[in-house]
Amino acid sequence: MIHVPTPILAIMLLFPITEASEKARVEEQKKLEEQKAGKPEGVYHVKQTVGNACGTIGLLHAVLNNSDRMKLQDGKFFAKFLSETKQMDSEERAKALASNKDLEEEHEVVAKAGKTKATARAFANLHFISFVMVKDVLYELDGRKSQPIAHGATSRTSFVEDALKIVRKFVAFSPKDGRFSVIVLAPKKQTFQGGAAFGGDGGSLPSAERQQEVVGQLVEMGIPEDKAREALGRNGWSLARAVEYIYSQ
């Protein structure tokens, strides 16, 4: 990540759901219940109750847990949704998201812009989660989990490496699977070379295989394939900037 602008505010991980990862999730939940662990205060978490919404929820977790470190545009989805749901619990936020008209309209616009059928089945069993720092603690945020998962103390200087240690644990569940990818929430930079995973301004065009992989990540988030390709092409095949481009339209 040497070419990614800093500071990195959040990390999103796309990973394949496997028998091993599911076993770990169940064991983790059981441990939380046995310990009667309370939900941490000041961490924004949304439960996932709608299928194929993990990408949207991952973005919410990444952005809204950094609302004090970045300016949300007034009148746009993120600012409005935070204002409406800040005092809600995870389940109430899930209901608000499911009935949110602004997001429904955004998805409708994107869907109508597509000209080909999205190949979501090719990317089945993939899931997005996010890692953020809140009050000097590293949290894993997953809409399929009952609450944020604390992974110990961190700092602005160690956040990325601390988060990647947890990412490596997910990779260990299926080390031969090549569908893992990381997206970061970071500042814009005009001289940006290389996206969170692929290409950037002036960068070489990724291989056809890598192009299909990054297109698939956007498809997994509910974005039609040709709309995903357009956004990536306009943004040097930078996944992070393509996501920002799509949701800013």
Regarding pTM above 0.75, the answer is no
Active site residues: 54, 127
pLDDT tens, 135-173?
999 999 999 999 999 999 999 989 999 999 999 999 999
Encode the chain in three state secondary structure.
Answer: CCCCCCCCCEEEEEEECCHHHHHHHHHHHHHHHHHCCCCCCCCCCCCCCCCCCHHHHHHHHHHHCCCCCCCCCCCCHHHHHHHHHCCCCHHHHHHHHHCCHHHHHHHHHHHHHCCCCCCHHHHCCEEEEEEEEECCEEEEECCCCCCCEEEEECCCCCHHHHHHHHHHHHHHHCCCCCCCEEEEECCCCCCCCCCCCCCCCCCCCCCHHHHHHHHHHHHHCCCCHHHHHHHHHHCCCCHHHHHHHHHHC
Task: Kindly give the confidence (pLDDT) of every residue in the chain, 249 residues in length, as a single tens digit, with 9 standing for 90 and above.
Answer: 545 667 899 999 999 999 999 999 999 999 999 988 889 999 999 999 987 789 899 999 999 999 999 888 898 889 999 999 999 999 999 999 999 877 766 555 544 544 445 444 445 689 999 999 999 999 999 999 999 999 999 999 899 999 999 999 999 999 999 889 999 998 765 433 333 443 333 345 778 887 888 888 777 776 788 888 888 888 888 877 777 677 666
